[in-house]
Chain A
Amino acid sequence: MRSFLLKRLASAIITLWLLASIVFLVVNVLPGNVGRKVLGPFAPESEVIKYNARLGTDRTLLAQYFTSIKRVFTLDFGTSYQFGTSVKGIIFPALLRSGKLALLAFVITIPISIAAGVYAARRQDKLSDRVIVNAGLASSSIPEFVTAAVLMSVFAVNFGIGEVYANPPAGTSLLGQLQYLMLPAMAMVVAYFGYIARMTRAGVIGALASDYARTATMKGMSKGQVMWRHVLRNALAPTITVISVQIGYLIGGIIGVEKVFNYAGLGSTMLTAVGSKDVPVLQGAVLLVGLVYMISTLLADLLIAYLNPRVRLETKR
């Protein structure tokens, strides 16, 4: 287990370095004046020079590259162009707020979609299975902001359920905040339900057809016992991977939902940064999301290794 952990950590650090390099490359992909590109051809030259000086883009590329790599590992993302304060102080609280929304969405999505996936797998090719598979296919292909806008017009405006503005007033209790976060969370649930449910279904169908499931049934275990003790343990590995991969995408999709519901999370922060050409904040936010993604996939791999000894032992060989 320890060698597995070390190996996995080393690869995470390499990925993190590449991640920072990609983000650096995106900003500097075209040679030339960053300030001019960001501010456009009509900005006065003095503004462009000021922008480059504040961003540090008037230094050599190599010096800039080292700074940006250092930033990822020290979690210091520099200074916001628009506010003049540290990027860290802006994006961390925003990430926490987005995290709250994402967590609520996940807490609702995971049990529902795993249950639906198991149910569909046990009734394979029957009507209820078809409904779950096709509804999942349709719902996961609609962009989150579209679902959010539709949910808002149907529930918040027509039925008065939930709130149009998702920011709870200061001092609202945790339970009171649910009222505000419900609709945006539902938009995320719609988007992620289908994917996790389909993945679970495929895993369970595969595991049910396996030799060990047959053996367990033949030695007289009940259907429920076979499901709990043998099938789910094996079938959930791909699902756990999918869930962890989804955390990165979840934060990607959350931007649209936050915009629709005017929620002050990482998404809104990024959109303000786009509007005011605040590249350091954008860079920091992208890196931070990458970091969150890496941690979640790392945890998922550990969880899978814990559930399935074969994975742990394989790395030893």
Chain B
Amino acid sequence: MSDSAEIISTPGADTISPESSPIKGLSERKQARRENWRLIRRRPAFIVGVLISVFWLVCAVLGDKITPHHPLDYRTTSHLSPRWSYPFGTDDTGRDVLSRVMAGARDVLIIAPPAALIGVLLGVIVGMLMGYLGGWTDTILGRIVEAFLALPVVLIGLLAITTLGRSNPVVIGVVAALFTPVVARTVRSAVLAERDLDYVTSARLRGESTPFVMFREVLPNVSAPIIVELTVRVGYAIFTVSTLSFLGAGPGRPSPDWGQQVSDNYNSIVAGYWWTTFFPAAAIASLVIAVNLIADSVQSVLEAS
């Protein structure tokens, strides 16, 4: 939806204090990392976020092994309202909504996290090039990034998936490609703050190659904003993937994918069958909020350190 990069990038850039030079040794950095991790774990928002995420992760991995009914079993009466035996009711073809919601976690979790990860990896490479090399590379890539940001992710994603044909790798690739410019912008501003520090200059004077300085010297020092960006991107990826599913780029019937379920059932809200739409919609909301709670905790700790 919105690019939080702007907010994250600026404070993220300050988090890398000048004294974290590589000469002071790895152990110090490791210790700081351990301390940060301890602070993150203590935040209640983080714990809540992890609990919800782990629940959906378990559902995604085990799928129909733990659902009360089979997610595709249509032998029950259709449109039963929520009751003890069917806590979320049944849908238009008599399938158990609870089982479908549980099984549907797999469809989104198989796409969104890999898409976010690939997007961040590509964004780090592009952002490092822009920030470290500067000059023409920065100007040209910066223009392209700006043009990408003018395109709403969902619209261009829809166009790309229509022309490429829908499959899981295509959705992953499209979402990753659309996230790359946003990540690149964040990484670029973090690298800019590092580029002229003494340790970079001395590495260059030592005669280290450009890739070495970029990835072995600068990269470890901009890891904090990158980690924040990764957690934020996972949230947006879930958001984007489920929106795309809802808009017709989902895996198709009878898949229990959440966005797909909302898309299949929202027309029957009018008839009073709210549960077939409400529960998958709530599932999407719970997962996105959970991931954002984690992201927010990671961000506040890393920015404060």
Contacts and interface: CB of A to CB of B under 8 A. Distances in A.
Nearest to A26: B160
B292 A15 contact: no
Contacts of A274: 158, 162, 247-249
A289 B157 CA distance: 14
A106 interface: no
Q: Is the interface of A mostly helix, strand, loop or mixed?
A: helix
A146 B285 contact: yes
Interface stretch (B25-33, B85-93, B127-135, B142-150): B142-150
Contact of A152 (B7, B147, B269, B289): B269
Interface in B86-142: none
Contacts of B301: none
Contacts of A246: 2
A22 B148 contact: yes
Nearest to B156: A286
A95 interface: no
A142 to B, nearest CB: 5
B78 to A, nearest CB: 18
Interface in A266-281: 270-271, 274-275, 277, 279
A44 interface: no
Contacts of A18: 143-144, 146-147
Contact of B146 (A15, A142, A202, A249): A15
B136 to A, nearest CB: 14
A153 B279 CA distance: 12
Contacts of B246: 143, 145, 256, 259
B62 interface: no
Given A18-B144, A289-B151, A23 B1 contact: no
Given A249-B2, A255-B155, A289-B155, A282 B162 contact: yes
Interface string A25-55: 0110110001001101000000000000000
Given A27-B159, A142-B289, A285-B155, A271 B150 contact: no
Interface stretch (A112-120, A133-141, A171-179, A225-233): A133-141
A253 interface: yes
Given A149-B269, A157-B269, A238-B6, A270 B155 contact: yes
Q: Which of A30, A242, A248 has the most CB of B within 10 A?
A: A248
Interface residues on B, range: 35 or more
Given A22-B151, A149-B266, A199 B7 contact: yes
A270 B159 CA distance: 9
A202 B7 CA distance: 9
A245 B2 contact: yes
Contacts of A238: 6
B151 A259 contact: no
Interface in B52-75: none
A15 B160 contact: no
Q: Which of A21, A149, A238, A294 has the most CB of B within 10 A?
A: A149
Interface string B156-194: 101110111100000000000000000000000000000
B152 A248 contact: yes
A246 B2 CA distance: 7
Contacts of B270: 156-157, 164
A245 B272 CA distance: 38
B152 A279 contact: no
Contact of A140 (B1, B149, B150, B162): B1
A242 B262 CA distance: 30
Contact of B248 (A149, A275, A283): A275
B35 interface: no
A19 B151 contact: yes
Interface stretch (B209-217, B223-231, B235-243): B235-243
A30 B248 CA distance: 22
A170 B59 CA distance: 48
A271 B7 contact: no
A289 B149 CA distance: 12
Interface string B280-301: 0110110011001000100000
A279 B162 CA distance: 8
Contact of B235 (A141, A158, A242): A141
B50 interface: no
A157 B152 contact: no
A277 B278 CA distance: 30
B7 A149 contact: no
Given A146-B285, A245-B3, A286-B155, 19 more contacts: A23-B156, A26-B156, A38-B162, A141-B235, A142-B285, A142-B289, A143-B242, A143-B284, A144-B243, A145-B259, A145-B281, A149-B269, A164-B269, A238-B6, A249-B152, A274-B248, A282-B158, A283-B159, A286-B152
17 contacts: A15-B150, A18-B147, A38-B163, A141-B285, A143-B285, A150-B282, A153-B277, A153-B278, A164-B269, A164-B270, A249-B152, A271-B247, A274-B158, A274-B249, A282-B162, A289-B155, A294-B150
Interface of A: 14-15, 18-19, 21-23, 26-27, 29-30, 34, 37-38, 40, 137-138, 140-146, 149-150, 152-153, 156-158, 164, 191, 195, 198-199, 202, 238, 241-242, 245-246, 248-249, 251-253, 255-256, 259-260, 270-271, 274-275, 277, 279, 282-283, 285-286, 289-290, 293-294, 297
Interface of B: 1-3, 6-7, 143-144, 146-156, 158-160, 162-165, 235, 239, 242-243, 246-249, 259, 262-263, 266, 269-270, 272, 274, 277-278, 281-282, 284-285, 288-289, 292, 296
**8 nearest A-B pairs in the assembled complex, by CB-CB distance:** A252-B152, A18-B147, A153-B274, A146-B281, A252-B154, A141-B292, A142-B285, A290-B150
